[in-house]
Structure 1
């Protein structure tokens, strides 16, 4: 049977880790200069990319880490370092490489929005833990799948309607938000590394 308590626990945990409201400034920063249609496309592509990665780790996460002999703490540290690099790019205003036409030469919906910002080490580790708890219980497996889908739907909604903010704050406001987002993301990256080191020491 469907386990409501397990669903709520998984949904709330992943919502807090993936932080849909906190994605807004990062989304605006990485879609700076894009048209409204492009921002809408990037919003759903980023959500779908993150969803696919989370599902893969929910199903095969334990096997992948076991085969590669990778500890959870190692994934957290590597994810923290990747996020730190992204944060430094935001602080310097270098959100994406540009072509001669001024458009981004990479699909930011895949990297860094889809991963590691949305489907980051924290979300992946949480998914693997919940998958371990749900193993062998059909109701829990269904609840986990529904929680993952619900969180990514919420992520898409926040990114999709964040484009309306552009009309209020204008492009100069986005530049300011970009710097603030870079600072906050740098702090999050360092915290991920600290948590991993604490886990290894203990």
Structure 2
């Protein structure tokens, strides 16, 4: 095992998955839920994210090439999806959990918006493809990459499970403020993701 490569992978995946950045999103979408349901949402979102990223590690190259989709196109599409999600956070009330009287299913919240596009974000999917670009025929290297992002996902899970006391401390008002601020940051990240892909596609200097 090349420890320097694994450490570099860990840092890259930590940045693109951003466990701390997922926390305000988690607080916003699980506001009003009891502790047990909140914990189930956290576990399910991390499990779903794990399988999504595993898929992109082992089949991401095949999927994009078989559909004749470039990495840049995938990155631009991911940036657009992330931007739309960020807008719903900024305006508030964009998700069913913000509407009283509706039954909330943990798996629904876990899949969207937590697993996708927050934890298994477009950047994380893209990183899973790029980090295994030189290991297409090397199964052990792919497994090591899976082990690396599993550590990041475990850290994400620990942070989300510990969100209960923080939510009680912040209250509904504090959670709403954080949600909107993080929405602005996510929108900026989405624009940066899209512009970077367009710049690379056109052969322009890095932004």
TM-score (normalizing by structure 1): 0.92
Rounded Cα–Cα distance in structure 2 between residues aligned with 1:118 and 1:55 = 13
Q: Which residue of 2 aligns with 1:142?
A: 143
Listed as ranges, the gaps of 5+ residues in structure 1 are: none
Q: Answer yes or no: is 1:168 the counterpart of 2:175.
A: no
Write out per-residue CA displacement over residues 98-153 of structure 1, whole angstroms, 9 at most, x where no aligned residue.
56624446711101110111112211111111112233445533321210211111
Contact 2:57/2:142, CA 8 A, preserved across alignment: no
Listed as ranges, the gaps of 5+ residues in structure 2 are: none
Rounded Cα–Cα distance in structure 1 between residues aligned with 2:139 and 2:51 = 21
Q: Answer yes or no: is 1:44 the counterpart of 2:43.
A: yes
Q: Which residue of 2 aligns with 1:85?
A: 84
Instruction: Please give the residue correspondences for 1:46-195 in structure 2 after superposition, counting only pairs within 5 Å.
Output: 46-97=45-96, 101-104=101-104, 107-137=108-138, 139-195=140-196
Contact 2:58/2:142, CA 8 A, preserved across alignment: no
Rounded Cα–Cα distance in structure 1 between residues aligned with 2:164 and 2:196 = 34
Contact 2:96/2:102, CA 8 A, preserved across alignment: no
180-189 or 137-146: which moved more?
137-146
Please give the root-mean-square deviation of Cα atoms over the aligned residues, in Å. 1.7
Deviation at 1:162, TM superposition (A): 1.6
Rounded Cα–Cα distance in structure 1 between residues aligned with 2:94 and 2:166 = 19
Contact 1:4/1:143, CA 8 A, preserved across alignment: no
147-156 or 50-59: which moved more?
147-156
Rounded Cα–Cα distance in structure 2 between residues aligned with 1:195 and 1:129 = 15
SS in 2 for 1:107: helix
